[in-house]
Copies of this chain bind each other. A is one copy, B any other.
């Protein structure tokens, strides 16, 4: 039976030793309550909930899936009870505005809880995850009246939320969307159209579902500049604020559930809006801009999925590798008293374990770093806020696409450690692979993130966006220039940091002649950027560990393991950049020269 144990020691290492969460929170107005003791206490409770309540439902969720019956959706056994416990524990309100019933704790703390929830049971975690996105959107763009009812009910967890963007003929290209919003005499709008791939669109966990919907006003300009954002509740509210209850059924209904490769426990719905009553959020025709709030939250949330499946795969394949006896080590028996050696003696098995470990822990550092940037964009001074915004804009596509790609790779390594048994459902490893696979698709595919990074973020700022990060790397390297133990890491980082800038310039030059060069280079550029970014975080983790060891610690094995994993990352993962460097500079011709009719005969 697969298991999840929240890696609290690793989490604390990143928070305390690497990112100095204490100083971070102390510097932000309103976060003073998030002291290390408080944080620890919350994380321990979160870990218990993830391990004891959610983890045991992960496999059953996959096996049972969601059941559709005439518009209603039944979630798998135990999901509803788990959600009740989640609400009773006050988890939905953790990182939300006190004005609407929230606890006002920083977003970055919510990220750690989301990691544990998602690692224990990604399908389940998507229900509150979507609510979180809806809450952030309402918080930023809703009117006071909208917030007083909808936001309050979402913060309490009594209601949940969704985000309704995609339509059958448009996912990436939202400019083509057709859902209509007709103004009504009472100031509301009648929303009509079909949305697909709506996660948590219908379910039995909560009394009401608040859909945040993209639609077009009658006079809207074509394309992305004519899209507006609406609130469309499943049931109209009776009354206001905290005491609101559920009234009449609105004209929105789930038409069917998609049959998916994985995340079976989450309901992926076709939603039909048939003149449903909706309310405009934010200014008309600016819906896509408002939606970016949600999209950025969702992209970091999806980055977490890469980390989650890597961590889960690592934990379970590690246990198996210690236990399963098969063959002897090439250098001679390591467990001569047993019928064979545990497979963890074999270098190829260790390689698969360490790859998962390096991506999970490196990914954690990158995501928590981004989460601290999110805190700053909400709470820091204007200047710091601007800087954090720019850095976050640069790192978000990297975190989303790179971590989900290596998260999927990691899930596959976890499965591979099990040999043929990995292919069998009962071990849970193949579910981990199937669940991980969607992360490279939704919230913008890897290819879309890559265009966002190289095209919009890096080249459209003439490289300023990249420079914002390479400066930080450079500063780190410079500070460690005389540190002998850090030399291998710092030398490699320095070289890469320079190469990164050089390659960017070269691609930028080519792109001036032919814009297709951006698309031709983008995915390899993104993967390259991911490997280098993670190298920076592994170097920081190595430094933090080295400082602890130098200062004397009661946990030398723990900190030595960080150094060993950092070395593994630099020696066995980072050289993958070599291939990407050559490929992204090979030009667009080798992709574009093939006529469409020549692809197949």
Contacts and interface: CB of A to CB of B under 8 A. Distances in A.
A572 interface: yes
Contact of A514 (B171, B331, B594): B331
Contact of A579 (B170, B442, B578): B578
B318 A599 contact: yes
B259 A348 contact: no
A440 B9 CA distance: 34
A54 B401 CA distance: 37
A172 B450 CA distance: 40
Given A261-B430, A419-B445, A594 B169 contact: no
11 contacts: A173-B326, A261-B424, A261-B433, A318-B600, A329-B516, A331-B516, A348-B451, A350-B592, A415-B437, A422-B441, A578-B578
Contacts of A318: 599-600
A379 to B, nearest CB: 32
Contacts of A327: 172-173
Contact of A561 (B340, B560, B594): B594
B173 A595 contact: no
Interface in A116-165: none
A390 interface: no
A251 interface: no
Interface in A417-462: 419-426, 430, 433-434, 437-438, 440-442, 445-447, 450-451, 455
A564 B598 contact: yes
A419 B437 contact: no
User: What 10 A-B pairs have minimum CB-CB distances, sorted nearest first?
Assistant: A575-B582, A578-B578, A261-B430, A347-B519, A348-B447, A347-B520, A259-B425, A561-B598, A330-B515, A571-B586
Contact of A590 (B261, B572, B592, B595): B572
A166 interface: yes
A341 to B, nearest CB: 10
A103 interface: no
Interface stretch (A43-51, A72-80, A351-359): A351-359
Given A318-B599, A423-B442, A561-B599, 8 more contacts: A169-B325, A170-B326, A173-B327, A329-B516, A347-B519, A347-B588, A423-B441, A568-B591
A331 B516 CA distance: 6
Interface residues of A, number: 105
Contacts of A575: 578-579, 582-583, 586
A511 to B, nearest CB: 9
Nearest to A523: B348
Contacts of A330: 455, 515-516, 518-519
Contacts of A173: 325-327, 340
A100 interface: no
A415 B166 CA distance: 18
A346 interface: yes
A260 B427 CA distance: 10
B579 A564 contact: no
Contacts of A339: 176
A149 to B, nearest CB: 32
Given A419-B172, A564-B598, A599-B353, A258 B424 contact: yes
Contact of A322 (B322, B331, B523, B596): B596
A292 interface: no
A184 interface: no
Contacts of A597: 557
Interface in A565-586: 565, 567-568, 571-572, 575-579, 581-583, 586
Nearest to A63: B259
B261 A425 contact: yes
A349 interface: yes
A522 interface: yes
B9 A349 contact: no
A353 B582 CA distance: 20
B568 A590 contact: yes
A440 B351 CA distance: 16
A458 B425 CA distance: 36
A495 to B, nearest CB: 13
Interface string A250-262: 0000000011111
Contacts of A259: 424-426
Nearest to A326: B173
Interface in A306-364: 314-315, 318, 322, 325-327, 329-331, 339-340, 344, 346-351, 353-354, 357
B340 A591 contact: no
A209 B492 CA distance: 59
Nearest to A429: B261
Contacts of A197: 420
Nearest to A262: B423
